[in-house]
Amino acid sequence: TMMWAPMIIKVDNKWNMYTSAGAYSGIICLQSDTLVGPFTFPHYDKEGNPLKLIDLKDVDIPFDAIDPCFVHDYKSGKNYLFFGSFYGIYRVELSKDGTELAKRHKFSLVAGRHEGGGVGNGDEGTMLYFHDGYWYMILSPRNDYRLLCWRSKSLRGKFVDKNGNTPLSDKFGHEIVGPQSDSYRKI
């Protein structure tokens, strides 16, 4: 299995690694008692096969499930995973230990466009940071890999840039790093 864009974070007393399991396959969660591993699957099916955290064959929306970003909401105490790419960036609530989807989970589109099954903006590399009362969502459009930013008072709220544009609109967010130059792309 191809895996990329891992994120390792401590949840309770365990280290969770979230990583893409191939572009159109899903996202897996591995767990370890230590930061250096070994990392193993925390959940298995009845036949002893490891379970994916997000298995695209079980989801009725066409995801490009890459670039997972785990976020703990300090206000609500809930855990979330942000992920996606061509079909948009999605948010889903996770269990308390972060190894499973929450019981009443819902996949919510938070960035990009997904109209009639079409491809969205191709945003990827989503990261979220809390600072001075706001959650900042930073992502990169695949067409030029600049970094764009929006903010919200809540992880479940509406993210906007300084002009009031949302990441679901055709308008860009606040640009914090410009597009890659042609000379940079050749390196």
Q: What is the pLDDT of residues 131-182, one digit of tens each?
A: 999 999 999 887 777 888 999 999 998 999 988 888 887 666 788 887 765 5
Q: What pLDDT is attached to residue 186? A: 46
- Distance CA(57)–CA(169), nearest Å, equals 28
Give this prediction's pTM.
Answer: 0.88
* Secondary structure (DSSP) of 163-177: TS--TTSSS--EEEE
- The sign of the CA dihedral 148, 152, 154, 156 is negative
- Distance CA(17)–CA(70), nearest Å, equals 9
Does residue 185 or residue 72 have the better pLDDT?
A: 72
Of 58-67, 76-85, 89-98, 175-184, where does mean pLDDT reach its minimum?
Answer: 175-184
